[in-house]
Amino acid sequence: METKICSKCGEEKEISEFYKSKTSKSGYRGACISCTTEKHKEYYQNNKQYFYENGVKNRNKNRESYLERSRSYNLNNEHKVRDSYFKRTYGISLDDYNKLLELQKNKCCICGKEEVILSKIKHDKVNNLSVDHDHKTGKVRGLLCGKCNKSIGLLNDDISLLKSAIAYLEKHQEVL
């Protein structure tokens, strides 16, 4: 049983009582879930009037402006946005992704298909290979096309299910 000491209440608790965090060294937030929840409740209580006055009306009014600024930032900082996404989601940098891509010669590890250029409707952007990772450990295994990544994901990365699927296809390939 792995434990951690909460930075707020100082109690030693099971690791399951902490929110996960990809940005912290330990992989978990410093404060436990109950302390974090308490902090949020307290903040809301102390700022209830502000939320009441500035809630839904201002949020909807400013939404379009926010979305436009966000779109503009994303277009002008594509490298930063992708790097941040890879670090936050998989614990690798955009440079690490590009090195993997080069090692795999821009091809899916399973089917061997290259990255695909999408139609002009999608602004001729490249359909990037997906980062395949072990959901238990978080370790990156390689880059896969969307179909291959979804296929193994839908079978829960379970080798016995994948073998059963292969056996099924081999048994029934000449049925029709």
Q: Which of 5, 62, 72 is nearest to 32 (CA)?
A: 5
pLDDT digits (tens, 9 = 90+) for 152-171: 989 998 999 999 998 998 88
Structure confidence by residue, pLDDT tens digits, 94-107: 999 999 999 999 89
Angle, helices 78-90/56-76, rounded to nearest 10 degrees: 110
**Percent of the chain whose pLDDT exceeds 90:** 51
Angle at 170 between CA 166 and CA 171, to 5 degrees: 115
User: With pLDDT > 70 as the criterion, what percentage of the chain qualifies?
Assistant: 86
CA–CA distance, 96 with 99 (Å, rounded to integer):
5
Res 113: pLDDT: 87
The reported pLDDT for the residue numbered 135 is 83
Domains present along the chain, CATH in parentheses? 30-76 (no CATH), 93-171 (3.40.1800.10)
Q: How confident is the model at residue 22 (pLDDT cuts 50, 70, 90)?
A: confident
- Amino acid 120: pLDDT: 47
